Amino acid sequence: MNFELFISRRIISGDKSNFSRPIIRISIISITLGLAVMIISLAITTGFKKAISDKVIAFGSHIQITNYDLNRSFEAIPISMDQPFYPSLSDMDGVKHIQVFGTKSGLIKTNDQIQGIVMKGVWKDYDWDIFKDKIVEGSVLEIDSAQRTNDILISKMLADKLNFKLGDEVRAYFINPDEVSPRGRKFVIRGIYETGLEEFDDIFIIGDIRHIQRLNKWDDDMVSGFDVYVDNFKDLDKIYEQVYDEVGYKLDATSIKELYPQIFDWLNLQDMNVIIILILMIAVAVINMISTLLILILEKTNMIGILKALGARNLSIRKVFVYNATFIIGRGLLWGNLFGLAIIILQQQFHFLKLDQESYYVPYVPVTLDWLSVLAINAGTVVVCVVFMIVPSYVITKVNPVKAIRWE
């Protein structure tokens, strides 16, 4: 039998009238709350970054392949769909899908309002699974190669601003540089979407790419570029380099991080907040454990003297109290995990923590549960706390057995 572990268990399950009992409870509560806050903070940050990234990628894709053009406008220099990488690029390891797109700026005119817009044209290869969850009314477009459709998707923000509803006709005007008068097109609202990102909701409508080809007098195989989606956002940088090499020197590949650097730089700042929270919570747990251990040593001074008188070594007695502290940490971790995971699961199911979508881009607090991160937080908390317990346990070596036995 492990002598140190046996004594430690006896201390933990001993007389409940000990004056250290409330201190131990406070220490367990401190670890519980600290761990729960760390788990919840990490889940919120991960969920928030994923939610915003998904919204941006729904419009911009992970990687865009376009013609070389220093002018990043919506009036792009067209390129041919007949490329050696299309659609075979989808077979590249890590690439989920490739599709064509076209963009053209224009105006929507009503009886009393004029609104600038950008039409994003899509073709039959468009993966609607990426965008389907953004539809709040109506349905996605049905595009086939036989006939051009006049149906469009419009944002809820534009619909509210211009007093449009599902099924309404929309009159849009587009200007070409070599033409004096604008060209008008009549569309029908098939669906209304909402991303919560004003940068997109305030300007984008989605329709058939063949309208853009006809407005720009392009051939049927000419497009603004290609959208490339990857399987895992974490692999974006690596796959971007491979795609960049694949498209050759005549075309340009741009990562979504380069297209919208302000959004992704802002998201990366959230990592610093999590690091600060983790450091603060672990520091609080460590300070509480050090205080608790010192109180336990003070309370058990008489026992320490007896064990020394019976021949116990300082190292063995120190192990007793380190084991004791580990038991306390373990209880805190148990309750902390239960509490933190319960909050995350309830938020995933019921979304009871709401947010102002205009300020935070999402209507509720998004959370993503990463089990590897949870395990890492638990392991890190245990290791840091136990390591810091070794220092205060050194006090035991200074205890005089004779004086300790007389301790009252």
Q: What is the DSSP code string of 99-154?
A: EEEEEEEEEEE-SS-EEEEEEEEE-TT--GGGTGGGEEEE------SSS---EEEE
Six token digits for residue 34? 């600290």
Q: What is the pTM of this model?
A: 0.80
State residue 206's pLDDT score: 95
Q: What is the distance of C-alpha 185 from the center of its chain?
A: 40
State residue 173's pLDDT score: 92
State residue 40's pLDDT score: 92
Q: Could you tell me the residue ranges of all domains in the chain?
A: 3-54+264-405, 69-249
Helix (H, G, I), strand (E, B) or coil at 381: helix
Q: What is the mean pLDDT of each run of 10 residues along the chain (408 residues)?
A: 72 62 82 91 89 84 84 77 89 92 91 90 90 90 88 94 92 83 90 89 93 91 93 91 88 89 84 86 85 79 77 79 84 92 93 84 88 90 83 72 61
Give dist(CA 228, CA 241) in Å, integer: 13
Six token digits for residue 83? 């490329």
Start-to-end CA distance of the chain, whole Å, equals 30
State residue 226's pLDDT score: 94
Q: How many residues does the chain have?
A: 408
* Alpha helix ranges (H) inside 71-207: 156-162, 198-201
Exposure string for 19-33, b = 16+ CB within 10 A, e = fewer: ebeebbeebbebbbb
- Asked if 31 and 288 touch (Cβ cutoff 8 Å), the reply is yes
State residue 403's pLDDT score: 62
